[in-house]
Amino acid sequence: MNVLIGIIVPLGILFSVLTVAAGLIWLERRLLAFWQDRYGPNRVGAYGLLQPLADAIKLMFKEDWVPPFSDKPVFILAPIVIVITVVLAFAVIPFAPGIVVIDLNVGLLFFLGMSSLGVYSVVLGGWASNSKYSLLGGLRASAQMLSYEVFMGISVMGVVMMAGSFNLGDIIEAQRIGWFWIPQFFGMVIFIIAGLAETRRLPFDLPEAESELVAGFHTEYSGMKFGLFFVGEYIGITLVSAMIVTLYFGGWLGPFLPPIVWFTIKTFLFICGFILLRAAMPRPRYDQLMSYGWKILLPIAMANLLITGALLLRAM
């Protein structure tokens, strides 16, 4: 029985994650259209629900072109890396009691490690394309993601100190007396901003800024290779939303409804928040993005960590 559960849970989570990524393509277009007073997808199927399927078919049948001037093995490997690292990070997220692929004592560190490895995909894709626009996008992505990983790591240390564990299940259980978003408000805000930068979403999509770099690190990609970058981005949105819920909003905790339903509702609301930011926020300059991180977010993250430690020591 345990073996059967050990097979069903990972496959169920993998299927759900990939299904959600496909559904977000439709959801994002519909919500952006609603907020910007447009129609959005409404031709392919009822309410345009078959639009993601049409996009997938188009990508499958587009020419899978590999530039002759590129580093072919690395060029092909790069889009695969981002999907693998993001999907692996879901292995440590507890969706409900007993619904987790692997219950690691260092689950939070594993998540941060997988987030760090994700930068290799973008950097290698930009470098292997042997194109100036792709290279500039890859360099932007490396500096942006590595910088904001620092702030993300420091911001979650307050949660670890309050819960006394790196285990994500223990962090959720520690929130039965109160969700961490209240005492760790500044840490939560920094984590959300760093999550936006990690997923390269608007307003932090500077590695692929079309007005400056054509398409940035994936300029030379087409077909399903481009599709993998696209899917990796949407899975990343889901991952960051799920981590925000786990660390700051009690995970599966909630009255009346089953735990998995609470986790799904909370995650869905944050995904909609990510989409709303794309509709509402302008893109900053690259130097402003980096200055904002090192000059504002880092001092706030350090201050939050020091104050949390001082309060916990005083309470002991």
- What average pLDDT does range 74-88 have in this prediction? 85
The pLDDT value given to residue 1: 53
Q: Is 2 inside a domain boundary?
A: no
Q: Is 136 inside a domain boundary?
A: yes
Among 303, 37, 314, 294, smallest CA distance to 149 is for: 294
- Tell me the pLDDT tens digit for each residue of 135-176: 887 788 888 888 888 888 999 999 999 988 899 989 999 998
- What average pLDDT does range 221-235 have in this prediction? 82
Among 115, 118, 206, 117, smallest CA distance to 152 is for: 115
Distance set, CA 37 to CA 202, 222, 233 (Å): 19, 31, 25
Contact partners, residue 84, CB within 8 Å, separation at least 6: none
Among 255, 233, 251, 234, smallest CA distance to 243 is for: 251
Q: How confident is the model at residue 4 (pLDDT cuts 50, 70, 90)?
A: low
The pLDDT value given to residue 205: 78
Q: How confident is the model at residue 211 (pLDDT cuts 50, 70, 90)?
A: low
Q: Is 27 inside a domain boundary?
A: no
How many distinct structural domains can be found in the chain? 1
pTM of the prediction?
A: 0.90
Is the pLDDT confidence value at 123 over 60? Answer: yes
Question: Do residues 191 and 156 lie in contact, with contact meaning Cβ atoms separated by under 8 Å?
Answer: yes
- Tell me the pLDDT tens digit for each residue of 30-63: 888 888 888 888 888 888 888 888 888 888 887 7
Token pair belonging to 72: 């072919």
Q: How confident is the model at residue 300 (pLDDT cuts 50, 70, 90)?
A: very high
- What average pLDDT does range 290-296 have in this prediction? 87
Q: How confident is the model at residue 3 (pLDDT cuts 50, 70, 90)?
A: low
The pLDDT value given to residue 302: 92
The pLDDT value given to residue 172: 92
Q: Which contiguous run of DSSP H or E holds residue 148?
A: helix 132-163
Question: Do residues 125 and 221 lie in contact, with contact meaning Cβ atoms separated by under 8 Å?
Answer: yes
Q: Cα 28–218–51 angle (5° rounding)?
A: 30
Token pair belonging to 48: 């345009």
More confident position, 190 or 200: 190
- What average pLDDT does range 246-271 have in this prediction? 90
- The three-state secondary structure class of 271 is helix
Token pair belonging to 129: 């394309």
Cis peptide before 67 (omega within 30 of 0): no
Distance set, CA 315 to CA 42, 298, 308 (Å): 57, 26, 11
Tell me the C-alpha distance between 92 and 311, whole Å.
Answer: 29
Q: Cα 279–285–200 angle (5° rounding)?
A: 55
Quote the domain boundaries for residue 166: 64-315
Rg over alpha carbons for the chain, rounded to the nearest Å, is 20
Q: Is 18 inside a domain boundary?
A: no
Among 161, 237, 143, smallest CA distance to 192 is for: 237
More confident position, 203 or 261: 261
- What average pLDDT does range 262-282 have in this prediction? 89
Scan for tokens 């695969």, then name that residue: 80
Q: Is 237 inside a domain boundary?
A: yes
Q: How confident is the model at residue 200 (pLDDT cuts 50, 70, 90)?
A: confident
Q: Is 46 inside a domain boundary?
A: no
Question: Do residues 83 and 235 lie in contact, with contact meaning Cβ atoms separated by under 8 Å?
Answer: yes
Is the pLDDT confidence value at 202 over 80? Answer: no
Question: Do residues 281 and 210 lie in contact, with contact meaning Cβ atoms separated by under 8 Å?
Answer: no
Q: Is 256 inside a domain boundary?
A: yes
The per-residue pLDDT of the chain, averaged, comes to 84
Q: How confident is the model at residue 212 (pLDDT cuts 50, 70, 90)?
A: low
- What average pLDDT does range 86-113 have in this prediction? 87
The pLDDT value given to residue 236: 87
The pLDDT value given to residue 160: 92
Percent of the chain with pLDDT over 70: 96
Q: Is 3 inside a domain boundary?
A: no
- What average pLDDT does range 278-297 have in this prediction? 84
